[in-house]
Amino acid sequence: MNNVTNIEGVIMTTETPILIIGKNGKTGARVNAQLNEKGISTLAVSRSSTPIFDWNKPKTWACALKGIKQAYVTYYPDLAVPSAESNLRNFVNAAKSQGVEHLVLLSGRGEGGAIRAENVLINSGLRWNVVRASWFFQNFSEAFLIEGIQQGNLVLPVGDVLEPFIDCDDIAEVVVAALTRPELANQLFEVTGPQLMTFADCVAQISEEVGRVITYTEVPLGSYLAQLKEIGLSDDELWLMNELFSKVLDGRNSQVSDGVQQALGRAPRRFADYAKAAHTSGAWTAAA
Ligand SMILES: NC(=O)c1ccc[n+]([C@@H]2O[C@H](COP(=O)([O-])OP(=O)(O)OC[C@H]3O[C@@H](n4cnc5c(N)ncnc54)[C@H](OP(=O)(O)O)[C@@H]3O)[C@@H](O)[C@H]2O)c1
């Protein structure tokens, strides 16, 4: 049973769980844990859950949406992909027809496709929140950058572009605030970390934390994509990588924003503190 404060500030009890799309994801798992810690029940779904939820199989959506009033939505692989806007529109319509009242959408900064998808939700007539995030700290410890860190040399097609990387714990806290504090409804939170860093800065910080040499190597985008093709990435995945490294990381996002402060009334977490915690948890020890 969930206690949620309504728009007049009255505590109401709801029987329905909050749906989380992206059960095992970097933010979905954290939102799920934080809600459960507050005693709020959830239904966390992905392709490997019961019920199954698959963005590529719209027939799986209705079962997950049944009886749901609120949901946290992470799109896979990325709202930048060309099919995302129409897929999200179909999903929002399905949610509305099932009686969903409030959706919180995770979005990415500087992506044209993401802005079009955000607008689908903002103009849907549902209660909405968009949490538009910069690059995650956890890409270095829970996603595709981990291998380079473990092997001692991170290779990417990015030079000295500054990015305000953010902690997924902060993103999850902002999402949970949006889901549980009705006064935050119908707002977009642009969330970043507190400082601008290059990828080389991040690697140097991790290297210092783990106490061994880890280098950063910039390579041309063409040869990076050719290598990814060689190891079997699909055309869609290659399209996304090209989009991320040629557009999203061209310097357009090289400014911090105050979404964490706005939603939570405190500053976002620092990369150095994340690196310490990730190292302590053994994130980078596997292939050392
Ligand atoms: N990484 C960043 O720096 C960054 C920055 C800003 C925004 N974003 C946005 O973050 C979103 C991803 O969220 P996240 O990082 O929290 O998740 P994530 O860590 O990428 O995890 C995604 C989860 O989605 C599930 N999944 C994969 N394919 C699926 C499909 N076809 N249908 C349903 N679920 C599927 C997987 O679980 P199963 O295998 O069990 O299905 C996986 O555990 C993307 O939209 C991206 O644009 C990312």
Q: What is the chain's pLDDT, residue by residue, as a tens digit (288 residues)?
A: 565 555 555 444 456 999 999 999 999 999 999 999 999 999 999 999 999 999 999 999 999 999 999 999 999 999 999 999 999 999 999 999 999 999 999 999 999 999 999 999 999 999 999 999 999 999 999 999 999 999 999 999 999 999 999 999 999 999 999 999 999 999 999 999 999 999 999 999 999 999 999 999 999 999 999 999 999 999 989 999 999 999 999 999 999 999 999 999 999 999 999 999 999 999 998 644
What pLDDT, on the 0 to 100 scale, is given for residue 13?
A: 46
Q: Residue 30: inside a domain, yes or no?
A: yes
Distance 75 CA to ligand 1 centre (A): 6
Q: Residue 60: inside a domain, yes or no?
A: yes
What pLDDT, on the 0 to 100 scale, is given for residue 180?
A: 97
Within 8 A by CB and 6+ apart from 263, the residues are 173, 174, 177, 178, 184, 189, 191
Rounded distance, CA 115 to CA 78, Å? 12
Rounded distance, CA 229 to CA 41, Å? 42
* Count of domains observed in the chain: 1
What pLDDT, on the 0 to 100 scale, is given for residue 285?
A: 86
CATH number of the domain encompassing residue 126: 3.40.50.720
What pLDDT, on the 0 to 100 scale, is given for residue 10?
A: 44
- Beta strands, E only, the chain: 2-5, 11-14, 18-21, 42-45, 70-73, 102-108, 127-133, 153-156, 187-191, 215-218
Distance 23 CA to ligand 1 centre (A): 9
Q: Residue 120: inside a domain, yes or no?
A: yes
Closest protein CA for atom 44 of ligand 1: 78
CA distances, 249 to each of 147, 244, 255 (Å): 21, 6, 12
- Residue 25 Cβ < 6 Å to ligand 1: yes
Q: Residue 150: inside a domain, yes or no?
A: no
64 with 46: CB under 8 angstroms?
A: no
Within 8 A by CB and 6+ apart from 105, the residues are 73, 75, 88, 117, 118, 121, 128, 129, 130, 131
Distance 220 CA to ligand 1 centre (A): 26
Strands of the sheet containing 18-21, edge to edge, are 42-45, 18-21, 70-73, 102-108, 127-133, 187-191
Q: Residue 202: inside a domain, yes or no?
A: no
Distance 11 CA to ligand 1 centre (A): 32
Rounded distance, CA 108 to CA 91, Å? 19
* Ligand 1 atom, smallest distance to 27 CA: 16
Tokens of 282: 């053994």
Distance 279 CA to ligand 1 centre (A): 23
Write phi, then psi, for 83 (nearest 5 degrees): -80, -5
Q: Residue 101: inside a domain, yes or no?
A: yes
- Residue 60 Cβ < 6 Å to ligand 1: no
Q: Which residue type occupies 283? A: A
- Residue 41 Cβ < 6 Å to ligand 1: no
Q: Find the domain containing 80 and state its range.
A: 2-135+166-193+254-268
Find the radius of gyration of the CA atoms of the chain.
19
Rounded distance, CA 79 to CA 112, Å? 9
Q: How many CB atoms neighbour CB 192 within 10 A?
A: 24
Tokens of 44: 């966390």
Smallest Cα–Cα separation from 95: which of 129, 68, 56, 58? 68
Q: Residue 45: inside a domain, yes or no?
A: yes
Q: Residue 89: inside a domain, yes or no?
A: yes
Within 8 A by CB and 6+ apart from 38, the residues are 176, 180
Helical axes 271-280 vs 199-210, angle rounded to 10°: 40
* Ligand 1 atom, smallest distance to 54 CA: 32
Q: How many residues does the chain have?
A: 288
- Residue 106 Cβ < 6 Å to ligand 1: yes
122-176 pLDDT, tens digit each: 999 999 999 999 999 999 999 999 999 999 999 999 999 999 999 999 999 999 9
* Ligand 1 atom, smallest distance to 142 CA: 19
